Amino acid sequence: MAILQTLGVASCLGGPMRLCGYAAEMLHDEFARQKPEQKRLDLQWHMIHPEDHGSKEEKLSGLNKSISRFTQQWTEQSQPFLVIGGDHSCAMGTWSGVLNGLQQPGKFGLIWLDAHMDAHTFATSPSGNIHGMPLSALLGRADTRLAAMYPGSAFIKPENLILIGVRSYEDEEYDLLKQAAVEIVFASQINKLAQVLIKAIDKLSLSCRAIGISIDLDFIDPEDAPGVETPAPGGIKAEQLIEALSLINRHPKICGLEISEFNPEKDSKNKTLYLMKDIIEAFYGETLQ
């Protein structure tokens, strides 16, 4: 069984709640409970925590830097990886690290599965929560305050970014993405997720050498994934996501997967925790004989 490098980010500094920092630890324990014959994956865990001192923004800046060091190294070594947030602001670290590690950052594509657009800046965000801003930073369209938390100088080309599953957003972030001409597939436009995801990968494969997938668990319908920070009704069924991810299992261009925004306090009977595990196994797991 190949080793999958896994980074746990024990932080929820970018969100409104205080509990989404526990996802990685809980998931680690869940995998550790598996019997050897159930194992489809060999996860090599690395855990990082924010510093104790400094302002929230200084802590996030340091944390994103640490995340990016891991993903840069794995990208340089062509090792596929898994990042478990934390709130979704960890995406600034994860994908800037990949961009830093690629010889041609212009050939990196990102698929963003999320109920929200996450394309605010401090100037437009009604809440000021940084988990609603990572895409502006990744596109190089951040304001100075947000840019200070982004660990790198390479950005995603707008034509290499595809948002899927959006159903809750503010006009200002939509304007930012429209101006950049980023492709958005709204939840209401999705009939079969597998088709949408494969189409996105095929499109990105034409121009990109490496493709990443970032999953915000609120992409899934709250009925199937209640344990999230900011639930939005009308999401994709968990079953559809698992089916779609199984179809692209170990796709040669995939460099990494990120899962974010798990909130155990809102979970019901560990439904969302188990779903995270199913997502990882569908995407990276080897088929059991």
Q: Is 29 in a helix, a strand, or coil?
A: helix
Residue 20's Cβ-side half-sphere holds a number of Cα atoms within 13 Å equal to 28
- Considering CB under 5 A, how many residues would be counted as binding Mn ion? 4
Of 12-20, 70-78, 107-115, 137-145, the segment contacting Mn ion by CB under 5 A is 107-115
87, 118, 173, 281: which one binds Mn ion (CB under 5 A): 118
CB of 88 to Mn ion, least distance (A): 4
Cβ 173 vs Cβ 120: under 8 Å: yes
Q: Give the CA angle between residues 31, 217, 46 to the nearest 5°.
A: 40
> Which residues from 187-216 bind Mn ion, rule CB under 5 A?
216
Nearer to Mn ion, 85 or 151 (CB): 85
Give the residue with the Cβ less far from Mn ion, 109 or 285. 109
Residue 263 CB burial class (10 angstroms; 0-12, 13-18, ≥19): buried
| Binder among 88, 120, 141, 157 for Mn ion (CB under 5 A) | 88
Is 258 among the residues that bind Mn ion (CB under 5 A)? no
Evaluate whether 44 touches 3 at the Cβ level (below 8 Å): yes
Report the catalytic residues.
88, 114, 116, 118, 131, 216, 218, 261
Instruction: Name which of 31 and 219 has its Cβ closer to Mn ion.
Output: 219
Q: Look-up: residue for tokens 């409970």?
A: 33
Smallest CA-to-CA distance from 170 within 228, 211, 244, 115 is with 115
Strand 108-113 and strand 161-166: the pairing is parallel
**Applying CB under 5 A, does 167 fall inside the site for Mn ion?**
no
Please report whether residue 114 would count as binding Mn ion according to CB under 5 A: yes
**Positions in 38-57 near Mn ion (CB under 5 A):** none
Residue nearest to Mn ion (CB): 216
Give least dist CB 76 to Mn ion, A: 27
Is residue 98 within 8 A of residue 80, CB to CB? The reply is no
Which residues form the interface with Mn ion (CB under 5 A)? 88, 114, 118, 216
